[in-house]
Amino acid sequence: LMQLYLPLNFLGSVYSSLRNSLVDLEHMFGLMDERADITDSASALVLPARLDEAPAADIRFEDVQFSYRPDREILRGISFHVPAGHRVAIVGPTGAGKSTISRLLFRFYDVTAGRIMVDGHDIRDYTQAALRGAIGVVPQDTILFNDTIGYNIAYGRLGATQAEVEQAARLACIHDFIMSLPEGYATRVGERGLKLSGGEKQRVAIARTILKNPRVLLLDEATSALDTGTEHEIQTALRAVAANRTTLIIAHRLSTIVDVDEILVMGHGQILERGTHRALLERGGLYAGMWAAQAEEDAERG
Ligand code: ATP
C-alpha cells in the first residue's frame, strides 16, 4: 500500500503547490507570460498602470475575430467602445465567447483579425507587463495564498501600509468580517488556514484590486447565486472598485448590470443586441427574453 501511497502523496503535493501558484487569473497569466507566440515588439510602449498616475483608460475592440483552433471560429467580428470611466457588460449563453473577450484584452492570446486598442494604440504595441499592470482582474473564483488575510489583500500593492490595506478592506465590505476573526488581519487563510466562503474570497479579491488601483477593471461575475445579504455586500464592494474606472463586466445575473452604460448581448461569437438595460427591454428582443426568464427563475427560488 505504501508503494501506492507515496507517489499519490507526491502528486498531491505537486497539485497543491501548483494550485497555490495559480492565485488568480492575473497571477496565472503572469506565470504563463512566456507564451512563445505572444512577444513584445522591440519598440514596445509603456502604459500608465494606476488611476493615480493617469485617467481611466479608453478601450476599443475593432472588428475582432478569433479562433483557438483554425477549424472553429469563436469571435466573428466584435466591435465595441468603452470610453474612459464607463462600464460595459457582456451577457449571453454559455460558450458565446464572453470570457474569450477578457482573455484577449489581457493579451493571453492575440486576435486572429481586427484589433484591440487601449488609449488609441493597438495592445500589441505595449509591453505585456505594462498592459497587464494596467488591468485589475476580479475573477469568478479567487484562490488565496497560504498566508495571512492581510497579506492576501496587500498583494495588490506590495509595500502598502496597514492603514491602506484596512481602507481597501473597508471599501470592499470585508473589514468588519476580518476584525471578527480571532487574529484579525493576521489570520491565516488558504488551503492550510481558515476557509473563506466564495463571497468572502471575492471581497478579498476586490480589496486587493482597490489597492492595486488599476486604470481598467475586468470583472468576471460568479455564476452561482449568493444569499441576498452577501449579494448586497458584494454589489456595494463592486461599485466601490468600479468607480471612475473603465470597467468590463462578464455578467451572469442581469440584476447586477441594470445601471451600466452599455450591455452587449453575445451569441455565436457575435454581438446580437446592444444598448442600455432600458433600451433593450423596450426593444423586446433577446435581452428582454433573458430578463423575463431570469425574473421567473428568481420568483421560483423565492
Ligand atoms: P461561459 O458563460 O460558460 O463562461 P463564455 O461565453 O465565457 O462561456 P468562452 O469561455 O469565451 O465562453 O468560450 C467560447 C468558446 O471557445 C467555447 O465553445 C469554448 O469551448 C471555446 N474555448 C474556450 N477556451 C478554449 C481553448 N483554450 N481552446 C479551444 N477552445 C476553447
Mean pLDDT of 94-120: 94
Place of cell 428568481: 298
Query: Three cell numbers at 99?
Result: 470570457
112 pLDDT above the threshold of 90: yes
Nearest Cα residue to 220 out of 54, 131, 105, 86: 105
Of 21-35, 39-53, 134-148, 217-231, the least confident: 21-35
Ligand 1 pocket check for 91: Cβ under 6 Å: no
Asked if residue 84 has pLDDT above 50, the reply is yes
Residue range 251-279, pLDDT digits in tens: 988 988 999 999 999 999 999 999 999 99
% of the chain residues with pLDDT over 70 = 86
3-state DSSP assignment of residue 66: strand
- What angle, 0 to 180 degrees and rounded to 10, lies between the N-to-C axes of helices 228-242 and 198-212? 10
ipTM: 0.96
Going from the Cα of 270 to the center of ligand 1, the distance in angstroms, rounded, reads 14
Q: Which atom of ligand 1 is nearest to the CA of 103?
A: 11
Cα 17 to middle of ligand 1, angstroms: 26
Span 7-62, pLDDT tens digits: 444 444 444 444 443 444 555 444 444 455 778 887 778 889 998 899 999 999 99
State the cell numbers at 245.
474606472
Instruction: Verify whether ligand 1 is closer than 6 Å to residue 74 (CB atom).
Output: yes
Report the nearest-CA residue for atom 30 of ligand 1. 68
Q: In this structure, are strands 246-250 and 262-267 parallel, antiparallel, or unpaired? A: unpaired
Residue 220: which H helix or E strand, with range? strand 216-220
Contact 114, 67 (CB under 8 A): no
Is the shortest distance between the CB of 102 and ligand 1 below 6 Å?
no
Ligand 1, residue 96: give the atom nearest the CA: 6
